[in-house]
Structure 1
Amino acid sequence: MKLVIAIVHDDDVQPLLEDLTSKEFRVTKLATTGGFLRAGNTTLLIGVDDERLDQVIEIVKNNCESREQITTSPAPVTGTAGVFVPYPIEVKVGGATIFVVDIEKYIKL
């Protein structure tokens, strides 16, 4: 058994959840925040049998497309002596980051 941890853009999560649940995968949804853009994203925890792992990954790929977005540069973490002027930058958003972890034991009560 595997645990799939998928971090996806908030805009992609609803169709992804519908696709996963329609194929009878059990999913836990966590609201999370990205570090660079400090934007909302969603982390999904999906327990899956080894033989269905590729199917889950394919579903995530089909529902989470990356795209370009214009945003302002994030403010620096450390304080500055001068004035910070944000400037527009083009960044890639969407897509998914997927981690697959072996599960030693699975207990459902």
Structure 2
Amino acid sequence: MKMIIAIVQDKDSNRLTDALADNDLQTTKLSTTGGFLREGNTTFMIGCDDNQVDDALDIIRKNCSHREQMVAPISPMGGNADSYIPKPVKVEVGGATVFVLPIDSFFQF
């Protein structure tokens, strides 16, 4: 048995939830916040048999798209902030960060 932990952007969350449910993969969703962009994420915890891992990863890959987003940089720490004029930059966001962990035992009460 494996535990898949997938961190995705909120924009992909509903689509991924539906796709996982359509393929009989049960999930637990947690609301989380990213550290870099400080935006909302959703963390999925998916418990599945070893033979379902590849299918689950394919579903995540197909439903969590990459996109570019304009972001205003954070002002510099220290120094003269009066002359600092933030210029938005493009960054790639989306996709998924996925961890696959072995599960020694599972209990449901």
Is the Cα contact below 8 Å between 1:4 and 1:46 reproduced in 2? yes
Amino acid at match of 1:71: V
Query: How far is 1:75 from its partner?
Result: 4.1
Letter in 2 for 1:15: R
SS of equivalent to 1:54:
helix
Q: Name the residue aligned to 1:62.
A: 62
- Aligned: 1:13 with 2:26: no
In the alignment, which residue of structure 2 is the partner of 1:80?
A: 78
Q: Match for 2:80: what amino acid?
A: G
Specify every segment of 5 or more residues in structure 2 that has no aligned partner in the other structure, as ranges. Answer: none
**Dislocated runs of 4+, deviation >6 Å:** none
TM-score, length basis structure 2: 0.92
Give the secondary-structure state (helix, strand or coil) at the position aligned to 2:51.
helix
Query: What whole-Å deviation, never above 9, does each CA across 1:5-31 have from its counterpart, x for those lacking one?
Result: 000011001010001012111100011
Following the alignment from structure 1 to structure 2, what is the Cα–Cα distance between the partners of residues 69 and 50?
A: 36
C-alpha displacement of 1:81: 4.0
Question: Using the alignment, how far apart are the partners of 1:40 and 1:103 within structure 2?
Answer: 28
TM-score of the two chains, using structure 1 as the length reference: 0.92
The residue that corresponds to 1:47 in the other structure is 47
Name the structure 1 match of 2:98: 98
Amino acid at match of 2:16: L
1-side partners of 2:85 and 2:50: how far apart? Answer: 50
* Cα distance in 2 for residues equivalent to 1:34 and 1:75: 19
